[in-house]
Structure 1
Amino acid sequence: MFYSVRVDGTISLFSAEASGPVLADLAGVLCGPGRMTGFGRTAGRLSAVVDEPWRAGALARECRRRGVQAQVSAAECGRPLVRTPFRVDLLPLERRWNRGEEKVLPEGFRLDGAMLRMWALAAGSPQGNGYLLALDPAAPETHELLITALARLGVPAKVQKGEDALLRVTGRRRLAHVLELIGDAPAGAEPAWPSLVPVVRAV
């Protein structure tokens, strides 16, 4: 269980716990490294190559919370891979996020706290006085649209200087809002969660 309550004690409409876990939340993984694969016109599969084993494990647990089993293994590059089986109920995600072989942001896409939480689990990390969210470098046309989606959620972000596929959120108020939206870190994910105290990464 995680909590994300405003100072006045109310729950934000867009926070991760505003509604129960649903399959649509998995779109947050697609904001980062996730990919949908179709099996003809009958089923879809979600997969994501991530940087740390705990991320793959956390995403697999979040999938199970939504009734979807996911396996953790190693990708060809050696990095952790989380992947679901082909499922009929994942086909809508595949149809919305793919245009042929290209990954696209669905028309009218609206980000919410549950999706942002999944994005943070897949590809978020604190750095200095900010928070980084990795984008999919192989889907550059989604980047500006995701910046817009974050802004609509009240989380303005900019491309990290010198990096084409990293978004940076800065400012104590903005970071507090991100925490309000995504809730507490699951066990093991604390070092990768937004922090209101500047974080210095070991080199």
Structure 2
Amino acid sequence: MTSLPETGWPLIPRETLPPPIPVAGRRSAQRGAPGRPAGRQLSMFGAETTEASPADLAGLLAGPGQLGRMGGTARVSVVVDAAWRVHVLVAELVARGLATTWAPVEDQDQDPIDAVRDERSAEGETSDTPEEPPPRFEVRTAYSRRLNALATAWPAAAAQLFLSGPRLRLWVAAAGHPHPGGYRLGLDPGKDPVEVDAALVRAGLAGRVTEDRRAYVIAGRRRLTRLTELVGIRPEAAPSELWPGGAGA
């Protein structure tokens, strides 16, 4: 019997996704989807000029994403700190033909996301009001043969990882945050960051790994401009101040 091809459908109805969480001080968004700024040159390897592929999920694995294997299939999952990231990632993964689900994360133990608040406290940004832990969500693909090539090559492929625009776009959508004087990409502190650092250097985004190995910080106007060009137009669900090139980034 001939097996049916995997299509990534049915999709998750948009109304079942968590609503985007407003960001404090967020300015009102303009009507309509965000467009490309006039006069901006497209990058040769940017998200807007490179065809999307399941191999792009290497961008999630370079960051906090996790790879799972079962039989002749594989899946990728990642925990995110905001509902807007769920919206963006579901759309991006489904566009690559991957069935995708999400679920709230009940365990609110310390993780890379909490490091953002810890870093602010270390820099003197303290508050007398106890903060509620932010909601977290796990976004995961279904086990799929479409991810076999990535699963077979990983982690050995990390040594020659090429971070194209679409791969960086997924990473930013999952774990990108503005940083004083730069932009921060979340990492899994349990992974060796040496190969990821080398890949970012090759992409023209040389930066530094934080001491706790939870993030990679990119600084400098030229590098930040390149990051903005590579990841492409801000998704409609993403707050402008959190996306590369935005007011806060």
TM, length-normalised to structure 1: 0.83
1:113, 1:158 → 2: CA distance? 20
Whether contact under 8 Å (2:100, 2:140) holds in the other structure is: yes
184, 187, 190: which one pairs with 2:236? 187
Residues 1:89 and 1:59: Cα distance change in structure 2 (over 3 Å): same
- Aligned-pair distance for 1:75? 3.0
Question: How far is 1:55 from its partner?
Answer: 1.1
Structure 2 unaligned residues grouped into runs of 5+: 1-32, 109-135
1:129 maps to which of 181, 185, 205: 181
TM-score by structure 2 length? 0.69
Per-residue deviation, residues 62-82 of structure 1 (Å, max 9, x unmatched)? 011111120111235252001
1:34-53 matches, cutoff 5 A: 34-40=65-71, 42-53=72-83
Asked if structure 1 preserves the Cα contact closer than 8 Å seen for 2:77 and 2:140, the reply is: yes
Unaligned regions of 5+ residues in structure 1, if any? 99-103
Query: Deviation digits for residues 44-101 of structure 1, max 9, x if unmatched?
Result: 0111111112212211110111111201112352520011111111122222225xxx
Q: Would the aligned equivalents of 2:158 and 2:195 in 1 still touch at CA under 8 Å?
A: no
Structure 1 residues 138 and 197, CA, compared in 2 at 3 Å: closer, same or farther?
A: same
1:82-161 alignment to 2 at 5 Å?
82-98=139-155, 106-139=158-191, 141=192, 143-160=193-210
Match of 2:225 among 176, 180, 186: 176
Q: Does 1:31 align with 2:62?
A: yes
Displacement of 1:194 = 1.9
Equivalenced residue count is 189
Aligned AA (1:136): D
- Equivalent pair of 1:5/1:180 in contact (CA under 8 Å): no
Q: Which amino acid aligns with 2:76?
A: L
Paired residues for 1:8-19 under 5 Å: 11-19=42-50
Q: Which residue of 2 aligns with 1:67?
A: 97
Structure-2 separation of matches of 1:153 and 1:2: 25
Q: Percent identity?
A: 34
Q: Output the CA distance in 1 between the equivalents of 2:78 and 2:172.
A: 13
